[in-house]
A and B are shown apart, each in its own frame.
Chain A
Amino acid sequence: MSKQLYLSSSPHIHSGDSTSKVMRAVLYSLLPACAVAVYFFGPAALTVLLIATLGCLATEVVCQRLMGQPVTVADGSAAITGVLLALNLPPSSPWWLTLLGAVIAIAIGKQVYGGLGSNPFNPALVARVVLLISFPVQMTTWSSPIPFGSGLDLVTTATPLGEWKNAVMLTGQMPPDLQSGMVDYFLGNMAGCVGEVSALALLLGAGYLFYKRILTWHIPATYVGTVVLFSSVFWLVNPDKYPNPLFHLLTGGLVLGAFYMATDMVTTPVSTKGMLFFGVGCGVLTVLIRLFGGYPEGVSFAILLMNAATPLIDRYTRPETFGTSRQGARS
């Protein structure tokens, strides 16, 4: 035998899966949401998407160069952060706001902690929240969707959740026709962030991730389920004031948050039990912030708060080692 033999400790075969394959699948799954965004918000959405993605890629390269580390931008994780950030910004975001968001997401949200796998908070959400607090005007200027090719310009309006909050603060009552447009809400024909508007497009992508076994049901199901149950309580007590659970589900960023942001592997618990806790926590916090907080939307804050709780959750939800449960030990 002339050729070199490979010696190593077992196992000698591998599933063939890789981090970049996982990342690529997540990117593909976001394409429907991006397409719907461009359809409803036109070139403005496309601009936000491009600036955010390219901004994240560039920031990652610059950070890693500066730190003298190998440049791993090809693994696709920075691109995902970019796309997710864009989906979480208003379509009318000025270019500098988007770019600043990209720099914050990668530099402060990810690289300062040591890069991929080491960041405690979801980088895209870190950026969104920093921008929201620092630039409240730009970050809460919403546009009503304009059907693609109609030639109309974007018109400023309020999101359904914002409309509800304003009305409740002024009159204590919900606007009468607010809950009548559920089909439009489902398709994405409403004001909101670039990528959060269409539940349909997001669910299509999520279906693909389920099929690829990248997404498991634990966090999305408990998150959405908790929001539905918890918001139902308020709705049943006072349906004139509090919106119904379907409204909670379809408006705002819940679907985007529950399926794409709260399922970020790096910043969420590793055990099944931990994921369930995480989802429930996100759900409770989201409803509380939406109904009683200062901001109309609570998904980003809820997820970031639960990100902070992840190490604690991991600590208390360690899986029971085989042979240590009472059932097994009994003889």
Chain B
Amino acid sequence: MPAEFVVPMAQHIGAPAVASVEVGQSVSKGQEIGAAKGFVSVPVHAPTSGEVVAVESRPHPWGTSLPAVVIKPDGEDSWSTDLQPGDPGSLTVDEIVEKVRLAGVVGMGGAAFPAHVKMSPPPEKKISTLIFNGVECEPYLTADHRMMLEEPERVLQGVALLQYVFGAERVVIGIEANKPDAIALLEKESAGAPVEILPLQVKYPQGAEKQLIAAVTGREVPSGGLPMDISVAVHNISTAAAVADAVLFGRPLIERVCTVTGPAIREPKNLRIRIGTPLSHLVEVCGGVTEDPGKIVLGGPMMGFTQLDFNVPAIRGTSGLLLLRDEDVDRQEEGPCIRCSRCVQACPMHLLPTTIAAYSRRDLLAEASDYCAMDCIECGSCSYVCPATIPLVQAIRYGKAAILAKKRSS
């Protein structure tokens, strides 16, 4: 256990939580230390029992300093009794959703969107197909794979709860075909349950929501729309496990599985980590680094965020910690576009990345928008394949932000 936990109030999409404890106060494990603010927000809980030693801004994985509650563990690790286990047989849908909200459950794939919001679609949007994402979202990451292998019961309990909440007719767990062990295990464990285990083609970005839905249902989420527009909801299998924890065992989301890997880490591992653990502690647990890393990435290599140092905590969306060596960092100089169209072939959204990027870089936002810049899911495939190493997705990302900013100001 690390010497202190740094638990940021902002760990999810939506309004950050607000610290509800004071310095000097002692807290127990699972006690609420940050209160949700608004509907699209979730509370934050203490990862262990101990004393609150600071409530202040601390370096955050998002690249800036944000409010956090710092807890010094007392070593007891004693649970709070605020949240109570529930009996699935007697709970109503609303009660289940409320328990999920109180436990601070968010999407565990990386985006960390509050789960209770996703579980409360408008009444006119009936969900007929419920998909569970067991496709590892990025190369290097194996956290979801481990989750399915080690805790299939908990995953399936969550699946059953979510099926009950959504009243979905079809329930599918999509798993990449290169994980036959997970497919076999979940098939065995789910025998008799109305759940379909669907092996999927191994390709990136198969784990992206829209691509997963297309692979499972053969239908495309309309441009600018949400999965519920075609009666589909998608949850990560780790989110399902967190829902089971919250509803059946009264455990808030204070843990997750995180893949610590990369060429610069001595012993790559999947760790069950407490939210708020400093990255330096994760590196230590994995035997340290083989050399000074060239790049520290939180998340995966295609969509993760680089960090300045190990002095930030792991948060709810931290699916991986990737340490690249200096030689793994691509510093090839950018060349002119030779119109090889590899980005066009690679784009899972069927866009023209090179065109959108060129418009974005020249601030021709109307043109970029016309070429469907806003449909980009920022998977990074275009930049990965570009032989001229043009920062395509980076330019498109800038264009998207500029288009949004312009829309907001007008």
Chain B, residues 327-360, CB within 8 Å of chain A (1/0): the string is: 0111110011111110011001111101000000
Asked if B167 CB lies within 8 Å of chain A CBs, one says no
Query: Measured between C-beta atoms, what is the minimum distance from B225 to chain A in Å?
Result: 7
* B316-336 CB contacts (< 8 Å) to partner A: 322, 324, 326, 328-332, 335-336
Check B389–A14 contact: CB distance below 8 A: yes
Q: Which residue of the partner chain B has the closest CB to A213?
A: B342
Asked if B171 CB lies within 8 Å of chain A CBs, one says no
Chain B, residues 174-216, CB within 8 Å of chain A (1/0): the string is: 0000000000000000000000000000000000001000100
CB-contact partner of A6 in B224, B225, B306, B339, under 8 A:
B306
Chain A CB within 10 Å, residue with most, of B219, B225, B326, B341: B341
Separation of A12 and B372 alpha carbons in the complex (Å): 24
List chain A residues, Cβ under 8 A from B336: 115-118
Chain A, residues 247-275, CB within 8 Å of chain B (1/0): the string is: 00000000000000000011110111000
Check B295–A116 contact: CB distance below 8 A: no
Query: Measured between C-beta atoms, what is the minimum distance from A219 to chain B in Å?
Result: 11
Check B220–A323 contact: CB distance below 8 A: yes
**Contact residues of B: prevailing secondary structure:** loop
List chain B residues, Cβ under 8 A from A320: 350
List chain A residues, Cβ under 8 A from B79: none
Check A12–B329 contact: CB distance below 8 A: yes
Q: Which residue of the partner chain A has the closest CB to B225?
A: A323
Query: Measured between C-beta atoms, what is the minimum distance from B242 to chain A in Å?
Result: 25
Query: Measured between C-beta atoms, what is the minimum distance from A315 to chain B in Å?
Result: 11
* B39-74 CB contacts (< 8 Å) to partner A: none
Query: Measured between C-beta atoms, what is the minimum distance from A79 to chain B in Å?
Result: 15
Asked if B146 CB lies within 8 Å of chain A CBs, one says no
Chain B, residues 346-390, CB within 8 Å of chain A (1/0): the string is: 001111101000000000000000011001001010011101110
Check A1–B309 contact: CB distance below 8 A: yes
Known: A5-B309, A17-B385, A331-B230. A270 touches B344 (CB 8 A): yes
Separation of A278 and B378 alpha carbons in the complex (Å): 30
List chain A residues, Cβ under 8 A from B306: 5-10, 12
Check B221–A265 contact: CB distance below 8 A: no
Known: A10-B304, A13-B302. A322 touches B383 (CB 8 A): no
Query: Measured between C-beta atoms, what is the minimum distance from B81 to chain A in Å?
Result: 42
Check B344–A271 contact: CB distance below 8 A: yes
Separation of A239 and B139 alpha carbons in the complex (Å): 59
List chain A residues, Cβ under 8 A from B296: 5
Asked if B121 CB lies within 8 Å of chain A CBs, one says no
Minimum-distance CB pairs A-B, first 6: A328-B220, A11-B380, A117-B336, A323-B223, A270-B341, A14-B330
Show the binding face of B for A, using Cβ within 8 Å. 139, 210, 214, 219-225, 229-231, 292-297, 299, 301-306, 308-309, 322, 324, 326, 328-332, 335-341, 344-345, 348-352, 354, 371-372, 375, 378, 380, 383-385, 387-389, 391, 393-394, 397
